[in-house]
């Protein structure tokens, strides 16, 4: 019994040496994902502000009030950026699918963050991400008064003088 116990490690070592080599490796090159070149984000003569200066709550509230007013008057085409994704589709949907008596009400501005800021002369241009809790209120002939709450992220650009 003692001889078998002493041979067992030796037999296992020999079996391990004679085992078939296992090389399950694959070598492929990594190809980067093609993407368009990033455009210059600053206009000519703009000086980036880094770190960005805070934008006052009053300015943010005024900008969001302007958006909700344009939504209510069905005049979003005047404030939406020309680069807004599906711009015309949103304007058409507002005209055709949203009830005429619908009101967009801001429940709260939950927060905002300055994404980008630059200065040209004495004026600042700030690009902000604003998180807004809102609700759409309207009357439905079949089911009566309706309220549809939601939370949206607005990306807005403000042109403003320095200071709060």
Using CA atoms of 106, 124, 37, 27 in order, give the dihedral in degrees to the nearest 10: -70
The domain tally of the chain equals 1
What is the residue range of 101's domain?
47-160
Pairing of strands 123-140, 47-48: unpaired
- Tokens for 148, please give them: 């549809």
Is residue 61 a part of any domain in this protein?
yes
Query: Across the strands, what pairs with 152?
Result: 132
User: pLDDT of 52-66, one tens digit each?
Assistant: 999 999 999 999 999
Rounded distance between C-alpha atoms, residue 132 and residue 64, angstroms: 9
Has this prediction a pTM greater than 0.75?
no
pLDDT of residue 84: 86
Half-sphere exposure of 45 (CA within 13 A, CB side): 5
Taking CA 5 as the corner, what is the angle to CA 3 and CA 6, rounded to the nearest 5 degrees?
65
Query: 74 lies in a domain?
Result: yes
Q: What is the pLDDT of residues 80-138, one digit of tens each?
A: 988 888 899 999 999 999 998 999 999 999 999 999 999 998 899 999 999 999 999 99
**CATH, residue 152:** 3.10.450
Evaluate whether residue 21 is within a structural domain.
no
């Amino acid at each position: 019994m003692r001889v078998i116990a002493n041979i067992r490690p030796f037999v296992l070592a020999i079996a391990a040496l004679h085992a078939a080599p296992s090389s399950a490796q694959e070598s492929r090159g990594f190809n980067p994902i093609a993407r368009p070149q990033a455009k210059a984000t600053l206009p000519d003569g703009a000086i980036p502000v880094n770190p960005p200066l805070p934008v006052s709550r009053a300015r943010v509230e005024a900008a969001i009030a302007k958006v909700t007013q344009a939504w209510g008057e069905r005049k979003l085409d005047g404030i939406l950026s020309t680069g807004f994704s599906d711009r015309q589709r949103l304007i058409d949907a507002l005209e055709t699918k949203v009830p005429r008596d619908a009101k967009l009400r801001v429940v709260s501005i939950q927060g905002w963050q300055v994404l980008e800021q630059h200065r040209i002369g004495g004026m600042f241009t700030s690009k902000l991400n604003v998180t807004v809790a809102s609700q759409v209120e309207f009357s439905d002939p079949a089911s009566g008064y309706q309220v549809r709450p939601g939370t949206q992220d607005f990306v807005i650009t403000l042109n403003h003088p320095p200071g709060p």
